[in-house]
Amino acid sequence: MKTLTRELAHETALFSGLDEVVYASNQDLIQENANVDGQSPMGQMSKFGSEAAKAYAKLKLLSDRTLEAIDQNLIHPHDLDFLPTGTTTCVQLPLGKLLKGGFNTGHGFMREPGDIVSAMALASIIFQSNQNMQHGGQSFPMFDYDLAPYVKKTMKKHHKRLTNYPVKWDEADLQAAVLKDTERDVYQACEAFVHNCNSMHSRGGGQVPFVSINYGTDTSTEGRMVMKNLLLATKAGLGNGETPIFPIQIFKMKQGINFSETDPNYDLYQLALETTAERLFPNFSFIDSEVNVGHYNGTPESEVSYMGCRTRVMANRHGDDNSIERGNLSFTSVNLVKLALLSHTTDQFFVKLADTMDIVIAQLLERFQFQSAKQAGHFSFLYGQAVWKGSESLAPTDTLEEVLKQGTLSIGFIGLAEALVALIGEHHGESDVAYDLGYQIISFMRKRVDQASDNYDLNFSLIATPAEGLSGRFTRGDREVFGTIPGVTDRDYYTNSFHVPVYYPIRAIDKINKEGAFHALCNGGHISYIECDGDVTKNIKALDVLVKAMAQANFGYGSINHPVDRCTACGHTGIINNACPSCANTDEEQIERIRRITGYLVGDMKKWNSAKRKEESERVKHDQGRK
């Protein structure tokens, strides 16, 4: 009887959800992911499949204890629709390795490229081929180092071509000509790569690949040329001057490499600041921070790499401490606010938090076992091309446990600020008492995660959840039970992870210092933002101060937000308030407002769900000396 009741409940919920997809009547449902056009035919087909797969997962693949916690609005297993497929969340792709030997897309073999133009084109194809193998993002961890050899190949080609001319070259003139022609090719290759990342179709045509690249520390002539021209191509924008949404770019900061004026890549750091001032990318990661420096051994492979949204994979109980050829397997988030609302004391809160984390750990283990039972042949690109570490020796019928145990299982959280208000009446931006309790809560979670790693000999980690659709879903569920509570459930969204609430007036340096300590606790991923006002292209020095403050505060990964608007009527890009300053256009439908949502950008805020639109509208600026 219990099973039949559950089946009927899931069937009712499924068909109700499908009606909302067919008639596009629920913006929050069809636009759970702002970079998928949920109203397009392929977007709708994807959503049909998603809703049916979630119903199947709940009916067949989740324990009663997990289902009860979901129904109680306590936890949220992310990408539940992909659970039946057994695929993983994300991976840091070994670009150099794939290019060096060539690779098979599943539809044909791509041989090793002979120059930078071909290498960049194949880098795009790798992204597109891999996107259909998993449900999350993908990244190149050493973009500069991996592409430098193909710049060198291009130089050799130009050198050979020029020396074959019936001209007696002065050596200095010859080298200058080689560099000039190579520079031109590298720029064109970078320009094509950026355009490809924003136009290639994946997942049945409903989405461009969700891609990130990490770079910043290669000091060779060839590596520097890749970075310089990538930044210049990003600054130039797309065909009509649009801001590129992908790839998410992460510039790696390192003392002695690009941090100070005497460092060899300091000029590239300055160019990165100019580019982020105009295009919102790159973001910045910090190799020397407390959370990252322990993994660094002086090699490029040991430099930290992030997924653009924030995911971080470094520590490994079964191999080298780096991110290459590894990724996150899955993650599940805890609703800290609901736990606080159910608790009469902080002691009771910690008891409930421990119980809830035990449920999540058990659920992640069940999902890991399901993923591990899949066969390598089910994911021809991920394992057939040895994208994942240790998959070279797998036969198509081999299962995946020995490979996947090198990935991470992550526990996330949302709403620390609102949970603190529910517990003691103020959040961690408002008082030292609240801050200390907030730090204690996240420290408690990290300790439980580390214990799970020891108990099960797997890479459990704590992630500061990049909540998009979840931000409003948890809130709506709690408001139905507890009503509207000031400072807790009175907004349409919960504050992401450990962030100080977006609406709370606070100086930039204070926000940086308060959030910095949480980065080391969240070893599965983290990001913090600073909101700037006005045209930051006119104050690059201020951006430099902010990035250096992030480094000082032990940020692992941070970014700077500011308005980037575009008038589609005339192509003007900049800050547009009530009317376009170029053509006086006042039609809001013709104004694209580029904003960061959870680490990545969205080219049109009309695609955001209602909770995130409301959150964006309430963001205060942090660079105006407010306290």
Question: What pLDDT is stored for residue 132 in this prediction?
Answer: 85
pLDDT at 512 over 60: yes
Beta bridge partners of 329: none
Residue type, 251: F
pLDDT at residue 175 above 90? yes
The predicted-structure confidence for 16-51, as pLDDT tens digits, reads as follows 656 665 555 555 555 555 555 556 666 666 666 777
Q: Which of 34, 44, 33, 46 is nearest to 203 (CA)?
A: 46
CB atoms inside a 10 Å sphere around CB 240: 9
DSSP-derived pairing of the beta strands 591-596 and 601-602: antiparallel
d(CA 476, CA 469): 11
Q: What is residue 25's predicted lDDT score, i.e. its pLDDT?
A: 56
The CATH topology of domain 74-90+325-526 is Anaerobic Ribonucleotide-triphosphate Reductase Large Chain (3.20.70)
Report d(CA 372, CA 402) in Å as an integer.
8
What are residue 334's DSSP bridge partners? 75, 413
How far is Cα 250 from Cα 307, in angstroms, rounded to an integer? 9
Backbone angles phi, psi at 563, to 5 degrees: -70, 130
- Helix (H, G, I), strand (E, B), or coil: what is residue 38? coil
Residue 38 pLDDT: 55
- Across the beta sheet with 75-77, what order do the strands follow? 75-77, 328-335, 408-414, 459-464
| Mean pLDDT of all residues in 260-286 | 97
- State the alpha helices, DSSP H only, in 320-460: 336-342, 346-372, 380-384, 401-404, 416-424, 432-456
Q: What CA–CA distance (Å, rounded) separates 47 from 31? A: 10
CATH class of 91-307: alpha beta
DSSP output for 347-382: HHHHHHHHHHHHHHHHHHHHHHHHHHTSBGGGSHHH
Measured at the alpha carbon of residue 522, what is the angle toward residues 521 and 527, in degrees to the nearest 5? 120
Q: How high is the pLDDT of residue 241? A: 87
**Tokens of residue 245, six digits:** 């949404």
Greatest extent of the chain over all pairs of C-alpha atoms, in Å: 91
Domain definitions of the chain by residue range:
1-61, 74-90+325-526, 91-307
Q: Which comes out higher in pLDDT, residue 45 or 534?
A: 534
Is residue 608 very low, low, confident or very high in pLDDT (cuts 50, 70, 90)?
low
- Given a cut of 50, whether residue 627 has pLDDT beyond it is no
pLDDT tier at 624, thresholds 50, 70, 90: very low
DSSP 8-state assignment for residue 324 = B
CB-CB contact of 342 with 488 (8 Å):
no
Is 80 exceeded by the pLDDT of residue 483? yes
Question: pLDDT at residue 626 above 70?
Answer: no
Structure tokens at 303: 């430099």
Burial of 147 (C-beta count, 10 Å sphere; 0-12/13-18/19+): buried
pLDDT the model gives residue 533: 87
Supply the pLDDT for residue 1.
45
Strands (E), 45-194: 75-77, 91-92, 103-104, 109-110, 138-140
Strand partners, 103: 110
